[in-house]
Chains A and B, each alone.
Chain A
């Protein structure tokens, strides 16, 4: 039982990271229909930002975190300006920006790869390495930090969509671009904001996971795949879906690795199995968008 509760904390923390990655996809895909696989590289950029600001320059964690996330919003906004908007304005099919963003993925990775040493680089923990226990539930400080921050991000995202006019305009664009534009919603501003928000969510995931896995120029692709799987499980319709998908995926992965009587290597297949089953049986994901 102790083992299970310990694992539950670690799986929840991993699930939160996957959830944030899924949220990054979702923020962009909802209003624009564009799936942006460069989110993994964005998480990587934020992790390297964490390394620079928090490790090399030793900034206080809170300030470093705010600066990294703000920087990521700029990265998202600039990406939209340079790689997406020119194509959309010229009436290119939806596939064009998706391919352009794959190019962004490669360019981003190469920039990081040539700018930093090849080895994984350390990113400090906000709190020391230590263990927190609430009765039988125990886990590292970082696990609880990841869970807390992720919950705050999701509550914030939920409030944004449910309670603010901006959020409603996002929904309106998601439901019907043309009608939303006719109602006076500024489409390009919504798109720019979607990319800034997506980059911030991905950046948050990268910053939170990097003390554990280090900043590394190849860290983006696995995060992008995990986030995409979580998105398929949870569905693109609602922000809660991203978190739900992430948690389900992480629990499935870690419980299989721990308890399933199969060789450890096979447990890696679980996410793929999930992806295939959901795409076949329930391609809209668990949570449907409200009509």
Chain B
């Protein structure tokens, strides 16, 4: 919150000094809704990135000014906020709340011909349902996450697997995608369990999975508290089969809230701690804020840098020129496997390389090394 205020103050000061000189970029985030655990760190990454760009002289000699709005992940509010940002003169809108809210904002950006991008939303439909040439998505798609995790699983030759998830929309969707891909790969799903939001134990579900005797368990849930219940029951029952998890386990909160429970769990991520860009980012973030950075900051940081890069190449803040420049992007950021670049080939507007995700493992209660890269 302080950072947001600081950024706003910074923006306000810049506004006072050089009234017509800032480049306004709208940010639509979620401060109170379901997406808050993802949106807040991503927004911190955006603010840190904008401050860094401004310290280095800004873009086209002008400072970036962030206009931050909170849509609570609600589609009914988010479109109105997009309109407000367009009216306030934003030349680009950065969407870091929930996919359905981002989708709704597109109705405004398409009509107002204002460039918009989401650096972290994972819904596959964002660039396919609407033919909006002003919208790009650089977060890894849900389908890529699942393909990466299962490519790793395939190398283990599992025949009998269990799937467990929660009853959230996203948890259900990921589980469904897991099961579809597994069946195609010839794996037999011997147990298919759901832990409801607000449950106080996952004991019955884990007992059932134990009785089905799988070779591995795939965790598709996205609700942290319920996932912790699953890990707890797993430990309590002394189960030994490996757990492979969706990208939800890439949220660093598990290091504290599931301490002692997650070692050995593998998960999909878009972050490789050994990558040079990541090391540079982590050092700069620590130097500027005094705090450790996390993978979710990287999404927002890449987002604002992709926008700055496009405006630089456009050589102007003309929205049409920015749109054309954005489409020609070729940029290596913090997120993605080593050597990955964000590009939008053949007029596509999805920028994350399908082979840019990695599978990592928890070691000593920390998100550890990379075990597997890509979907092969």
Contacts and interface: CB of A to CB of B under 8 A. Distances in A.
Interface of A: 3, 6-7, 10-11, 13-14, 17, 110, 113-114, 117-122, 129, 131, 140, 209, 212-214, 216, 218-219, 221-223, 225-226, 250, 254-255, 257-258, 263-265, 267-268
Contacts of A120: 224-225, 228, 253, 257
B194 interface: yes
Contact of B225 (A13, A140, A214, A264): A214
Interface stretch (B99-107, B201-209, B302-310): B201-209
Contacts of A255: 204
A265 to B, nearest CB: 4
Contacts of A121: 256-257
Given A129-B235, A254-B204, A258-B204, A114 B198 contact: no
Contact of B236 (A14, A114, A131, A258): A131
Contacts of B196: 267-268
Contacts of B24: none
A151 B69 CA distance: 49
B340 interface: no
B65 interface: no
Given A140-B236, A222-B197, A226-B198, A214 B203 contact: no
B198 A219 contact: yes
A7 B207 contact: yes
B278 interface: no
Which of A118, A254, A263 has the most B CB atoms < 10 Å from its CB?
A118
Contact of B201 (A131, A212, A221): A212
Given A118-B40, A213-B200, A264 B205 contact: yes
Given A7-B204, A14-B201, A265 B167 contact: yes
7 contacts: A118-B37, A120-B253, A120-B257, A122-B256, A254-B201, A255-B204, A257-B208
Contacts of A214: 224-225, 228, 257
A54 B314 CA distance: 54
Interface of B: 1, 31-32, 34, 36-37, 40, 167, 192-194, 196-201, 203-205, 207-208, 211, 224-226, 228-229, 232, 235-237, 251, 253, 256-257, 259-260
A11 B201 CA distance: 8
Which of A17, A121, A257 has the most B CB atoms < 10 Å from its CB?
A257
Interface of A, helix, strand, loop or mixed by DSSP:
helix
Given A212-B229, A213-B225, A213-B228, A221 B204 contact: no
A118 B72 CA distance: 13
Contacts of B197: 222
Contacts of A264: 192-194, 205, 208
A7 B237 CA distance: 11
B208 A225 contact: no
B232 to A, nearest CB: 6
Contacts of A221: 198
Given A14-B200, A119-B37, A264-B192, 6 more contacts: A7-B207, A120-B228, A219-B198, A263-B192, A265-B194, A267-B196
A10 B203 contact: yes
A11 B224 CA distance: 21
A10 B201 CA distance: 7
A257 B205 contact: yes
Contacts of A223: 198
Nearest to B256: A122
A127 B257 CA distance: 17
Given A118-B40, A120-B257, A7 B203 contact: yes
What 9 pairs across the A-B complex have the smallest Cβ distances?
A222-B198, A258-B204, A119-B253, A257-B204, A118-B36, A10-B203, A268-B196, A264-B194, A265-B194
Which of A121, A223, A258 has the most B CB atoms < 10 Å from its CB?
A258
Contacts of A11: 201
A209 B259 CA distance: 17
Nearest to B32: A113
Given A7-B204, A268-B167, A268-B196, A213 B256 contact: no
Which of B1, B197, B198, B208 has the most A CB atoms < 10 Å from its CB?
B198
B248 to A, nearest CB: 12
Nearest to A121: B257
A11 B197 CA distance: 17
